[in-house]
C-alpha cells in the first residue's frame, strides 16, 4: 500500500471500517512511514475533537413556550391575511430563474415593443414593432439572416422582415 | 438521545403524520415539533455557533412547516425537507452576518451564552494543567477552522460529524450525489488535519 492509498483510507481505518486485511496493510505501512503516521495521528485527534463536540447546548427552558406563543399570535392574524396565505400555499410560486425569464421576455416580446421600449427607446415608437429593433438603434435589424431563429422571432413579433 | 430520523420506519411515521396534519389535525403537529426540535436547533447551532440565533431559526422553520403544510409532498421524505430548510435558513443568516457584520443585539446576547466565545473559554479562572490548556486551545483552533470552512465543505462536515447523518441523507438534503458528499468530507477533513499537523 503506498502513501496515496493510505491517505485516502486513514479516516476509515480510524473508524474501524476497513477490512482486516486492508487494516493490517495500513498498520504495517504506518510503522515504516513517519509522514503517514503523523497523518494518522492528526486524523485520530480530529476524530476525538469531533466526537467530543457532538453534544450541543440544551434547548432554552422557554423554547417551547416561545414557539407556541408565536403560533398563537399567527393564529390571531386577520382572516383576510390568513386566507391570502393559504392561497399562496396552493399556487406554486415561480422560481427566481423562471421569474427572471418571464421579465426578460416581457421586455422584448409584444406587438407594441414591451415595457423597455415604452420608457427608454430613443427612437420613435411605431406600432407593432419589436423592442429589439429599437434597442439595437437600427430601423432594420441588419445582419440577421432571414432563415435564422432570431430572424424568425423578429418577423413573428414585428411583422417585419429583418434582413 | 436524539432519535435516528433517517431510517425508513421513521420516514413512514413522518409520512403518516404529515398526511394527517395536512388533513387538518393540528395536534399531530405537536408530535412533529417534539420529534425534530432538538435536531433542527442543533443543525442551526453548528452553522451559526450562537444558541439564541439557532433557536430563532428553528422556530421560524417550524412556523414555516405549520403554515406551508400544503406545499410539502407527503410522499417525499419529511426529515430531508426539514433539514434542507434549516440549512438554507441558517446560511441566509450567516451570509447576512458576514455582509452586514454582527448586530449589537447578538453581541450583547453573546455575553450570556456558554461556549460561544473562544476568549471566554480561555478566560476561565479555574486552574488547569498545561495539557488541558493545550487541548482547549486546540479545540478553539479547530472550531475556528471549521467556522472558516467554505459552506460547501462545512455543511457536509457538520451534518455528518456532529449530527451523524448518513451520506445518503446528506446527499438528499444538499441535492448532491453521495460521491460529492464523500469528496467534500474528505477535503474538509484534510484541511482540518493540516491545521492539526502544524500543532502536533
**Predicted confidence (pLDDT) per residue in B135-185, tens digit:** 788 888 888 899 999 999 999 999 998 888 989 999 999 999 999 998 999
pLDDT beyond 60 at A90: no
Say whether A89 and B41 touch across the interface (CB within 8 A): no
For residue B97, the model assigns a pLDDT of 75
For residue A137, the model assigns a pLDDT of 46
Q: Which residue has the cell 494518522?
A: A40
* Cα separations in angstroms, B168 against A9, B12, B148, B157: 20, 17, 25, 14
* Those residues with Cβ within 8 angstroms of residue A44's Cβ, 6 or more apart along the chain or in another chain: A14
Least confidently predicted of A50-54, B6-10, B105-109: B105-109
Assign A111 a pLDDT band (cuts: 50, 70, 90): very low
Cβ-contact A113, A131 below 8 angstroms? yes
Distance CA(A9)–CA(B151), nearest Å, equals 24
Say whether A70 and B162 touch across the interface (CB within 8 A): no
Distance CA(A4)–CA(B72), nearest Å, equals 45
The Cα of A103 is separated from the nearest Cα of chain B by a number of Å equal to 25
pLDDT beyond 90 at B119: no
Q: What is the mean predicted confidence (pLDDT) over B10-20?
A: 88
pLDDT beyond 50 at B61: yes
Report yes or no for ipTM above 0.85: no
For residue B130, the model assigns a pLDDT of 78
For residue A115, the model assigns a pLDDT of 47
Q: What is the mean predicted confidence (pLDDT) over B27-34?
A: 92
**Mean pLDDT rounded to a whole number for chain B:** 81
pLDDT digits (tens, 9 = 90+) for A112-153: 444 444 455 444 545 445 555 555 544 444 555 555 666 666
Return the C-alpha cell found at B165: 447523518
pLDDT beyond 80 at B44: yes
In chain B, what residues touch A41 (CB-CB under 8 Å)?
200
For residue A160, the model assigns a pLDDT of 56
The Cα of A59 is separated from the nearest Cα of chain B by a number of Å equal to 7
Say whether B45 and A60 touch across the interface (CB within 8 A): no
**Could you give the 3-state DSSP secondary structure of residue B33?**
helix
In chain B, what residues touch A71 (CB-CB under 8 Å)?
63, 66
Assign B124 a pLDDT band (cuts: 50, 70, 90): very low
Q: Nearest 5°: CA angle at B146, between B145 and B148?
A: 65
**Of B62 and A78, the one with more pLDDT:** B62
Residue A72 contacts B, CB cutoff 8 Å = no
In terms of Cα–Cα distance, which of A161, A55, A136, A130 is closest to B162? A55
pLDDT beyond 90 at B109: no
For residue B36, the model assigns a pLDDT of 94
For residue A150, the model assigns a pLDDT of 63
Q: What is the mean predicted confidence (pLDDT) over A23-40?
A: 91
pLDDT beyond 90 at B38: yes
Angle between helices B27-48 and B51-67 (to 10 degrees): 140
Least confidently predicted of A25-29, A145-149, B28-32, B48-52: A145-149
Q: Which of A53, A57, A66 sits opposite B59 (nearest CB)?
A: A66
**Mean pLDDT rounded to a whole number for chain A:** 72
pTM over 0.95: no
The Cα of B193 is separated from the nearest Cα of chain A by a number of Å equal to 6
By CA distance, what is B195's nearest residue in A?
A: A42
A·B CB contacts under 8 A? 79
DSSP, res B126:
S
For residue A102, the model assigns a pLDDT of 74
Neighbours of B147 (CB within 10 A): 13
In chain B, what residues touch A53 (CB-CB under 8 Å)?
139, 143, 161-162
Say whether B38 and A38 touch across the interface (CB within 8 A): no
Q: What is the mean predicted confidence (pLDDT) over A7-17?
A: 83
Backbone angle region of A138, left / alpha / beta, with phi > 0 → left and psi within -120 to 50 → alpha = beta
For residue A144, the model assigns a pLDDT of 55
Report the percent of chain B where pLDDT is more than 90.
41
Q: What residues of B are in the A interface, CB distance below 8 Å?
A: 33, 37-38, 41-42, 45-46, 51-52, 55, 59, 62-63, 66-71, 114-115, 138-139, 142-143, 161-162, 164, 186, 189, 192-193, 196-197, 200
Q: What is the mean predicted confidence (pLDDT) over B174-199?
A: 89
Q: Which of A8, A56, A64 sits opposite B45 (nearest CB)?
A: A56
Q: What are phi and psi of B126, to 5 degrees?
A: -65, 135
Amino acid at each position: 500500500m503506498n502513501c496515496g492509498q493510505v491517505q485516502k483510507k486513514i479516516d476509515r481505518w480510524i473508524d474501524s471500517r476497513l477490512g482486516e486485511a486492508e487494516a493490517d496493510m495500513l498498520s504495517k505501512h504506518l510503522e515504516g512511514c513517519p509522514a503517514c503516521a503523523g497523518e494518522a495521528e492528526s486524523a485520530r485527534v480530529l476524530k476525538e475533537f469531533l466526537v467530543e463536540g457532538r453534544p450541543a447546548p440544551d434547548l432554552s427552558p422557554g423554547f417551547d413556550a416561545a414557539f407556541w406563543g408565536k403560533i398563537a399570535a399567527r393564529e390571531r392574524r386577520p382572516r383576510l391575511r390568513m386566507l391570502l396565505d393559504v392561497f399562496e400555499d396552493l399556487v406554486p410560486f415561480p422560481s427566481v430563474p423562471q421569474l427572471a425569464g418571464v421579465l426578460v421576455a416581457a421586455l422584448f416580446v409584444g406587438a407594441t415593443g414591451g415595457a423597455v421600449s415604452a420608457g427608454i427607446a430613443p427612437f420613435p415608437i411605431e406600432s407593432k414593432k419589436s423592442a429589439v429593433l429599437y434597442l439595437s438603434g437600427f430601423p432594420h435589424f441588419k445582419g440577421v439572416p432571414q432563415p435564422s431563429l432570431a430572424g424568425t422571432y423578429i418577423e413573428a413579433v414585428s411583422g417585419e422582415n429583418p434582413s | 438521545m436524539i432519535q435516528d430520523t433517517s431510517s425508513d420506519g421513521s420516514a413512514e411515521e413522518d409520512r403518516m403524520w404529515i398526511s394527517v396534519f395536512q388533513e387538518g389535525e393540528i395536534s399531530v403537529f405537536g408530535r412533529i415539533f417534539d420529534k425534530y426540535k432538538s435536531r433542527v436547533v442543533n443543525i442551526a447551532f453548528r452553522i451559526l455557533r450562537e444558541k439564541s440565533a439557532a433557536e430563532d431559526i428553528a422556530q421560524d422553520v417550524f412556523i414555516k412547516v405549520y403554515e406551508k403544510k400544503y406545499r410539502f409532498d407527503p410522499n417525499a421524505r419529511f426529515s430531508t425537507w426539514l433539514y434542507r430548510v434549516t440549512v438554507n435558513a441558517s446560511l441566509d443568516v450567516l451570509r447576512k452576518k458576514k455582509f452586514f457584520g454582527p448586530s449589537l443585539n447578538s453581541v450583547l446576547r453573546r455575553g450570556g451564552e456558554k461556549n460561544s466565545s473562544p476568549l471566554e473559554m480561555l478566560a476561565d479562572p479555574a486552574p488547569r494543567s498545561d495539557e488541558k490548556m493545550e487541548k482547549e486551545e486546540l479545540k478553539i483552533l479547530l472550531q475556528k477552522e471549521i467556522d472558516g470552512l467554505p459552506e460547501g465543505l462545512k455543511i457536509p462536515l457538520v451534518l455528518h460529524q456532529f449530527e451523524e447523518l448518513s451520506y445518503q441523507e446528506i446527499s438528499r438534503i444538499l441535492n448532491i450525489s453521495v460521491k460529492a458528499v464523500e469528496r467534500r468530507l474528505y477535503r474538509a477533513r484534510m484541511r482540518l488535519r493540516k491545521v492539526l499537523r502544524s500543532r502536533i
